[in-house]
Structure 1
Amino acid sequence: MSEQYEYFVKAAPPYTEDRPSSLWRRVGDDWEYLSLFDWTWHSVQETVSKRVPQAQVLFPVTVERAAQLESDRQVLVRYWALYVDEQDFREGESPTTVVRRRRSPERGLDESYRGSKGFWGPTQAIEESRDLRTSNPPYLVELTADDAEALLQELFGVTGVTEL
């Protein structure tokens, strides 16, 4: 981290300053963001939109807090237990897997853990769970990264698959 920069978190609902969606920094009028995919800083000019988030969703953070966010990658990722539907959840059925969302300024990525194949792959489950047009949407229960890791261990006998 560098004292020459001012640091900011983006926290538009449902994200908060404690659980932001992205980390930004600037020096003068030059803005950069921390990529949630390669974990390096990139100029805002590298994004598709080439725009900095609106001021009302950017919150200043200290250099120390920015360093903490940069080193703790999990705080910028959201996890959910995935159930076939809400009825399965209410009846105490086990979730089928874990899904996660990484919303990096260059793009977003929703993934589910493919236990039988042993890797994370793209999923529409998060969007489908929120789509009122879906007749039987999947049901999601938000988890911490540690809870996601424990659930994946329980479901598939794997460890370390939430590491980024």
Structure 2
Amino acid sequence: MVLESALGWYQGRIGLYDKQSWETTVEQRILQGLSYTPRKTAKPKTEFIDVDLVRGSTFPKAKPHSGLWLAGLYGVARIIFIPFYFHWWIHETSCAGFFAILSMYCSIFFCGAILVTYRHHEGVIKEVPVFEVLVPAAVLVMLSVIHSQIVCTRHTGISSPTHTNRSLEVRSCR
């Protein structure tokens, strides 16, 4: 039950990154009971990434501020130098999420340091293969790259998920 609620929270948070500011305004008006919107006739425009029809209007999807390569490089840098990017990780995930990632990072770093330190001892190398350190490190880097590419579409508008009052309260690490 706890896992389902945590996954639901994360999916809801990630889903907010793909919305334009006017989409959240329309959703808020619908939730408040104001269902009237003027109907317009519009032809789909091909220059938009994704054309959705909402009562006759078209809109572009949220576009990333940078390319996928740059977002991937940011993801690699943010996970390799995680102690220097702790504000970003807390801002984009949560305090508990940051500490979970940091604990994985520290354990991988500690295991790698032990493996490098004792690489000339035959007993350690035979019992602990290098892949037991490299595979978790590669998975952590891939997850960081994927998360960086997901959140690179964040816009700085007032309806951005990082500007809501509730998320600011949840993110505070006290």
Which TM-score band (shorter chain)? under 0.3
Q: Which structure has greater strand proportion? A: 1
Largest Rg, 1 or 2: 2
